[in-house]
Structure 1
Amino acid sequence: MATIRDVAKLAGVSVATVSRVLNQNGYVNEETEKRVRQAIEQLNYKPNEVARTLFKKTSKTIGLIVPDISNPFFPELVRAVEDVTNIYDYTVILCNSDEKIEKEKEYIEVLKQKYVDGIILTTNQLELAEVSELDVPVVVLDRPLNHSFPSVIADNYGGARLATRHLYEIGCRRIAHIQGPLHVVNAVERFKGYRDEMQELGLWDEDLVILGNYQLNQTKEAVLQALKEHEIDGIFAGNDVMAVGALKAVQQLGLRVPEDVAIIGYDGIPLTEMTTPELSTISQPIYEMGAIAARLLVKKIEGQPLEQIHHVLPVKLVQRQSTSKGEKK
């Protein structure tokens, strides 16, 4: 395998000159650069990317930190980021933080040591000051920090109102909400949308708010308990995974969906089409969100202007069997 010294010898130049050509750093006259590039091609020389990374402190890689890769929402998001960044010859380093701030901080340090060119954050565990101290471009995806960083989110508040109103329109009056983690921005926005819609309808009852933490089994147990204590005829789950947990709880008690309890989730993941009955959901444009975030980050890395810094994408109601019209009493 050819080395940089072999290239320098064939081109009749110093190793430093070959390095300048490879890294586009410093002046090399046109004729000399031509000889170096011919030598590189003739020897089929492949630069040592590790060495180049250390020299240039850039790596053509980006870090992507997600809170829970086992949640089917995130793999589609990751796929979109990877598809777009690969077009621009960037590699994605995927980090799963498990919703733990200590793990997230550890990943940040690892990514800095690897000289990543930018980071996409889909968590909001870090303090604003900690993110501001990063020396690379940052784009926030799904869970915004504040307006200091480019962001891509869906209309969580509007989607929650849409889900709640849908349950009301099919005849539900005792509508429960399964809330995600209290520290997660999108979970809070979905709760606020539900609360405001229920207040406007004159149906607000704080006892009908159930904490599910975006977890299936925790939701199932919480819903089992709630159904024993309260009269509930509709459930709006803050994500689709929790909607599945709610469905399992309702069916375990021998209740029918949607005749006894109608259920709607949030996200629009394929899992909602695999249940019996199929689950209605508020569908986010998941792939589009990841793709936009990736393009924003690449532009930031390459110093290109951003036509729009903050993106709030619309959501849509996907009605399936779990909220079929005409089925509620």
Structure 2
Amino acid sequence: MDEEERDGDARPAMKRRPTVYQVAEKAGVSIATVSRALRGDGSVAAATRQRVLDAAEELAREQDEAATGGRRRPTVYQVAEKAGVSIATVSRALRDDGAVTAKTRQRVLDAVAELNWSPSRTAMALAGVANDTVAIVFPDLSGPYYANVIAGFESEVVDRGSAVMVLATHGRAASAQMVRDLSTRVDGLVIMDQTIPDKVVGEIAADVPVVLLARPSLPGVASVRTENADSAHKITRHVLGHARRRLRFLGDPDLSPDVRDRWLGFVRAHEDFELPAPEPLRAEGLAPEHGYDAALPILTDNGVDAIVCANDELASGVYRAAAEAGRSIPDEVAVTGWDDVNIALHLSPRLTTVRQPLRSLGATAGRLLFGQMESGTAQGEVLVTEMVIRESCGCEDVPPFYEFPTG
């Protein structure tokens, strides 16, 4: 049994607690209405809000009874009645958010103690979720890729009146638990790349709306990614069309699904030319220093005449390595990138690359997330990428939307 399975088995409560989907279904409203009702949004009618609260409490009570063999425990209604306050005031008093006077809060605490009541994890989690906040989870935050995705996501979210939380897992052993905990405090979650295992994604998606970003889709989970394999096929064919025959792909296909698809496009282009595709240069990451470290040995040995990079930052490291090795770009070594971030225009010669709509990627993730919160429907989208020809492949500078014929 692997670590994630043990971790999952050790947390059965995550699977037992009612979800926002169940509350919405029982109350006959949308997930977004549940969120607005639980945070006391004035746009929800009093009768609707009460119906949501009733549904949440009834579901919590049913599951508590199932877990305790049918024994009934005191309810939040009884606490509110004994303290002479509303259910919302009980919630605010327990959160101690400053909106309740000290005298009222003490009255609530006295009622809690007298009834020996403890708020269900479900009720508290639902209250935490309903805070008009959504989150996006990344494996890392270094580099312009993440900044552009965050900018697009934030613009979509802020326009809808919500706040954004950003979490970077950085490969920590506790990443799965970090994301689980975060999911109980937000209205919805975007999870990028392979930050957590599919099994954990499924568990979280059963509780709150989830959108996968730059990651293969899972059944019943919304997703958005960009097209990779076809554009990698095109740009590799373009380089081969310049009569380059000693190409290397720079990037580790095991690092992410996107890099893997770009590698597959590289291989397919070689098959078109009836050439064997050499093994990839497995850089340790996607930063400039990783490109430099991986490229310098083969450039020094004059073993390549073109390097197809998994992103623009790796390509910038190749430029430095080529300069140290005394190799001219593009006369001796053609170089291509991916993303078309700002650095692609400032390298000399300017970098031939594949443009990803990074801000649109983030904005689409936000739109899909809110769409799922409103309708409960998980949708998937694949965004178009396009080859941008500049000078680093050996071409004269041409219009940015030029595409080399692939037939």
Given the superposition, is the C-alpha separation of residues 230 and 145 from structure 1 closer, same or farther in structure 2, using an over 3 Å criterion? farther
* TM-score (ref. length: structure 1): 0.79
AA of the residue aligned to 2:387: L
Partner residue in 2 for 1:163: 235
CA–CA distance in structure 2, aligned partners of residues 230 and 97 of structure 1: 39
Trace 1:32-111 onto structure 2 (pairs within 5 A).
54=124, 56-57=127-128, 58-98=130-170, 100-111=171-182
CA–CA distance in structure 2, aligned partners of residues 169 and 93 of structure 1: 46
Given the superposition, is the C-alpha separation of residues 103 and 172 from structure 1 closer, same or farther in structure 2, using an over 3 Å criterion? farther
Given the superposition, is the C-alpha separation of residues 21 and 122 from structure 1 closer, same or farther in structure 2, using an over 3 Å criterion? closer
- Equivalent residues, number: 285
CA–CA distance in structure 2, aligned partners of residues 237 and 147 of structure 1: 32
CA contact (8 A) 1:257 1:322 kept: yes
- Unmatched tracts of structure 1, length 5 or more: 1-18, 28-46
CA–CA distance in structure 1, aligned partners of residues 146 and 309 of structure 2: 18
CA–CA distance in structure 2, aligned partners of residues 248 and 20 of structure 1: 57
Deviation at 1:303, TM superposition (A): 2.5
Given the superposition, is the C-alpha separation of residues 199 and 302 from structure 1 closer, same or farther in structure 2, using an over 3 Å criterion? same
AA of the residue aligned to 1:26: Q
Deviation at 1:230, TM superposition (A): 5.4
Given the superposition, is the C-alpha separation of residues 56 and 196 from structure 1 closer, same or farther in structure 2, using an over 3 Å criterion? same
Given the superposition, is the C-alpha separation of residues 167 and 48 from structure 1 closer, same or farther in structure 2, using an over 3 Å criterion? farther
CA–CA distance in structure 1, aligned partners of residues 240 and 259 of structure 2: 21
Given the superposition, is the C-alpha separation of residues 228 and 62 from structure 1 closer, same or farther in structure 2, using an over 3 Å criterion? same
CA contact (8 A) 1:211 1:219 kept: no
Higher mean Cα deviation, 220-229 or 285-294? 220-229
* TM-score (ref. length: structure 2): 0.65
Given the superposition, is the C-alpha separation of residues 103 and 324 from structure 1 closer, same or farther in structure 2, using an over 3 Å criterion? farther
CA contact (8 A) 2:176 2:200 kept: no
Given the superposition, is the C-alpha separation of residues 232 and 86 from structure 1 closer, same or farther in structure 2, using an over 3 Å criterion? same
Partner residue in 2 for 1:257: 329
CA contact (8 A) 1:266 1:282 kept: yes
Given the superposition, is the C-alpha separation of residues 20 and 136 from structure 1 closer, same or farther in structure 2, using an over 3 Å criterion? closer
Pick aligned residue for 1:122 from 178, 182, 192: 192
* 1:202 to 2:226 alignment: no
Higher relative CO (Cα under 8 Å, sequence separation at least 6) belongs to 1
Partner residue in 2 for 1:279: 351
AA of the residue aligned to 1:316: E
- Residues 14-66 of structure 1 show CA distances to partners (whole Å, capped at 9, x for unaligned) of xxxxx978574228xxxxxxxxxxxxxxxxxxx97966995734111111011
Partner residue in 1 for 2:246: 174
Deviation at 1:311, TM superposition (A): 1.1
- Unmatched tracts of structure 2, length 5 or more: 1-38, 52-90, 100-122, 398-407
CA contact (8 A) 1:124 1:144 kept: no
CA–CA distance in structure 2, aligned partners of residues 244 and 95 of structure 1: 27
Partner residue in 2 for 1:31: none
Partner residue in 1 for 2:201: 131
What's the RMSD between the two structures over aligned residues? 2.7
Pick aligned residue for 2:50 from 26, 40, 45: 26
* 1:152 to 2:176 alignment: no
CA contact (8 A) 1:175 1:234 kept: yes
CA contact (8 A) 1:235 1:261 kept: yes
